[in-house]
Chains A and B, each alone.
Chain A
Amino acid sequence: MATDFWASSHYKRWIIDRATLRQARTDDLQYVEDPEYLEFFSIFFANVIAKLGKKLNLRQRVIASATVFFRRFYLKNSYCETDPFIVIAACCYVAAKAEESPIHIKNMVAETRLFFSQPPYSVKSFPSDNSKLAEMEFYLVDDLECDLTIFHPYRTLLSLCKTESSSDLQAEAGEVAAGIDDGLRYWGSGDGQLELPDGALQLAWSIINDTYRSNLCVVYPPHLLAITALYLTLVLHSPTREMLQSHSSSAAQQVQSQLTEHQTSPRRSSRQASHASNTGKKSAQDFIGFFADLNVSMPLIATIAQEIISLYTLWDRYKEDCPPDNTARTSFQGQATQAGSPFSSTTHASRSGSLSGAGTPVTVAPEVPGDTQRYGGTGVVTPVILMQILARMRENRLSDLSHPASGRPVAVNKMLERTQAAG
């Protein structure tokens, strides 16, 4: 959110490759039967952060920062060796300070402890002592290498879209209008803005929220996530699709055809008033021009879009009693009459009482491409299951560490003895 992205700690130190990401899970993989569970953890814990954030009245951006802190922490640590719940609390506590909207530690501890003690978490070990949270904050900030300024896709998104001002999103992004100037677009040369119909911006915003359910935020720079979210919105949001009527065979459409097989709706772009034109054809040029002007790799955007769709596919198998608000999926439910969820499969619709209750037929959604369906069909995963898996992982890890026979390095045992003695 700050300063110059290309000179930022975010860009220089915290955009990491897949190999590093895999390596970070090495220990965890020893203790989990199916690596897929670790991906469910990503969804699960992000949801925990989002829900806790709601309880604490944190703004979206604070929640997003907390989530990024959490991801960064687990680039260096293992689930099986830590307690993700105290880590989550510390992430929220630091993020609130880093985003200049601090919460009092007493409230923080009380609310968090209560929230975590309830099902499905039923965490009994969360400390009632403020200093325990403060202590965790301290270690966390150290592990974060004191890099506390986070860039988020939200701002890029707003800079790309022309909106009917006074929206909640503007407020949420925090008085953007007051602060906007040269620092906003830190890549490319584009200065165009898309004019989006109602709901489309909200959808793109929600897609961005959803990206935090995965490791995308530590793999890709935020502006690429914003552009992808916008791209998915343009392609998949029906009213937007209708608005963007055109007949193009652009690179954008090629990308889009990778994403959806049955995409037939024509698109038309619209740019700022000065560029607005009467002919669909001209506008189509503008639409392509808009993305071209952004000067980002469209194949890369396509890749990221694939990953987001994979996330949704996985997410469809994850079931929570009350899904957190403000995800693209729920927002799709909200506007089911106008927009079919591009991501949801029948599972989604069937378990969403509100959707079927409303009796509105869901617009036919484009099919998810085959190669992202590798998760399809397998069992449903719930927080309770994940909590059990986590508990088992941690117990096994600890008992391994405390058995010399397990072949653990002596140093670790020594260390444990020391802490045992100290504790």
Chain B
Amino acid sequence: MHGEEWSHTILQTDPMRLYRAKRDQARRTVTSKYIILGFISSGTYGRVYKAQSVEPEGQIYAIKKFKPDKEGDVVTYTGISQSAIREIALNKEIVHENIVALKEVILEDKSIYMVFEFAEHDFLQVIHHHSQTLRIQIPSQFLKSLIYQLLNGLVYLHSTHILHRDLKPANILITASGVVKIGDLGLARLVHQPLQPLFAGDKVVVTIWYRAPELLMGAKHYNKAVDCWAVGCVIAELASLRPIFKGEEAKLDSKKNVPFQRDQLLKIFEVLGTPEEKDWPGVRDMPEYQNMKRLDPYQNRLSEWCQSRIRSQQGYELLRQLFAYDPDKRLTAKEALMHKWFQEDPRPTWNVFHYVAANQLPPQRRITQDEAPSMMGVPAHTAQTQAQTQTQIAQAHAHAQAQHLSQQSQANLSQQSKPGSAASFGSGSVGPGQGGYSGSQGSQTRKKARIS
């Protein structure tokens, strides 16, 4: 019989064909469930879109599309990226008010779509809004509420033994109703029983400006304290509207050895002073200890730094304790949350915008029409010219962002590279192959970071 012959062939050549047919038939596509409103950001591992559910309520979501993991020039499909697996596996397990909620994951056509609740703002955008548009400091009530909720989310993450490992303004989102949402778990890891030392998996973690001293000193084992250091950096950045330790990253060499991060350490020492053994006994055992000793000595002047920027003794205390050199002495997220600074006036609010005047609210997230051909359908009504303009804007911002992140050839670019100059939507840097800004240090770092 025809059928038997055929069944024999199918078992020999493609035994899963029937299975796939069944599954394909049952699957609902992204575009059947969501209307894509526009493109938000392009990161190293994918693109983020703004979308609306076709359900009656028509809620707004952010859809993160992972590019298929490809290798080399010849595009061979190697399956789901480690980063996507991580982000999915962890996001599926956690639920918290201050962590961006994953609604669903759709697998379709070799691409993975993670559907998140939409967050209208993020910390980087708030910083930019204050430095560029309003030209005022972030009011302390606002600032404190942002930090309080960030810590609240971090306490939860740490209670579930997840290290975020990439806390920075671009990855901390805020909803329109003023709730802080920690996002981007693409570098996050469980610290329970890693099968390999954390170091082995990812040689570099955390964007350099937010990287804790133990990482810069080459520590092979690290812990939740790296996230707490990053929180300190974020507080300082919100307070001063520019990154506090804006060092230049030394590049990985051809053998992917992590170089000594001299400049970044110097930036830290300039504010916090050179670490002393009495404060950080473990410093002597750090791989980069000898290199460190060769640096010029500095005095701690954090108190001075805080005077005009934090304007609260308790605020200074919190920062000082988050910037403890010794990871074991550094404040934990929980301790930070309980800190007196949050108990003194002005108190944090659950809507971070509670006391923000309407005309001072940060603008809505900008969306553009995605220019890449392979992408999901774009609304037809968008004029081509507009799309082109938007693209140019996006590239300009991406460029600014690249500088923002890399601090390459700082002399040349000197003052034009403004702190926090990345636009709200451009906070994910442009990856290689898009817009040609492969010099974006941010994405390179992360890319390397994810090679395991």
Contacts and interface: CB of A to CB of B under 8 A. Distances in A.
Contacts of A133: 79
A62 B193 CA distance: 12
B302 interface: no
A347 interface: no
A143 B23 contact: yes
A178 B196 CA distance: 12
B195 interface: yes
B21 A131 contact: no
B191 A139 contact: no
A263 to B, nearest CB: 35
Contact of B21 (A86, A148, A398, A416): A416
B54 to A, nearest CB: 21
A239 B13 CA distance: 54
B21 A139 contact: no
A371 interface: no
A147 interface: yes
A77 interface: yes
Contacts of A9: 92-93
B177 interface: no
Most chain B beta-carbon contacts within 10 A, residue among A93, A99, A178, A398: A398
Interface in B173-202: 189-197, 201
A419 B18 contact: yes
Question: What secondary structure prevails in chain B residues at the interface with A?
Answer: mixed
Given A83-B16, A398-B11, A101 B195 contact: yes
Nearest to B105: A146
B355 interface: no
Given A105-B78, A402-B3, A2 B21 contact: no
Interface residues of B, number: 57
A131 B19 contact: no
B82 A415 contact: no
Interface string A387-423: 0000100110011011100000000000110111001
Given A138-B80, A175-B197, A394-B11, A149 B20 contact: no
B46 to A, nearest CB: 15
A97 B194 contact: no
A86 to B, nearest CB: 6
Interface in A83-134: 83, 86, 93-94, 97-102, 105, 124-125, 130-131, 133-134
B161 A398 contact: no
A82 B16 contact: yes
Contact of A1 (B1, B10, B190): B190
Nearest to B202: A100
Nearest to B79: A134
Contact of B8 (A3, A61, A93, A395): A395
B88 interface: yes
Contacts of B86: 100
A307 interface: no
Nearest to A142: B107
Interface in B77-103: 77-80, 82, 85-86, 88-90, 92-95
Nearest to A415: B21
A175 B18 contact: no
B382 interface: no
A322 interface: no
Nearest to B14: A423
B59 interface: no
A271 interface: no
A361 interface: no
A138 B194 contact: no
Contacts of B191: 178-179
A86 B88 contact: no
Contacts of A4: 160
Choose among B12, B16, B190, B452 the residue with the greatest number of A CB atoms under 10 Å from its CB. B16
B22 interface: yes
B195 A59 contact: yes
A178 B221 CA distance: 9
B21 to A, nearest CB: 4
A418 B6 contact: no
A38 B225 CA distance: 50
B110 interface: yes
A7 B85 contact: no
B254 interface: no
A100 B196 contact: yes
B98 to A, nearest CB: 16
A188 B90 CA distance: 25
Contact of A415 (B22, B88, B107, B190): B22
Contacts of B296: none
Given A97-B82, A138-B80, A183-B161, A416 B18 contact: yes
B346 to A, nearest CB: 33
A3 B195 contact: no
B195 A7 contact: no
Contacts of B1: 399, 403
A419 B82 contact: no
B65 to A, nearest CB: 14
B4 interface: yes
16 contacts: A2-B162, A61-B193, A93-B79, A99-B195, A124-B12, A130-B77, A131-B77, A139-B19, A142-B27, A149-B92, A149-B93, A175-B197, A179-B191, A399-B1, A402-B4, A402-B7
Interface of B: 1-4, 6-8, 10-23, 25, 27, 76-80, 82, 85-86, 88-90, 92-95, 105, 107, 110, 159-162, 189-197, 201, 221, 452
Nearest 8 CB-CB pairings of A with B: A402-B3, A398-B7, A134-B79, A83-B15, A174-B193, A3-B160, A148-B89, A419-B21
Given A2-B162, A423-B14, 9 more contacts: A1-B193, A3-B161, A100-B86, A124-B12, A134-B77, A183-B161, A395-B4, A395-B11, A403-B1
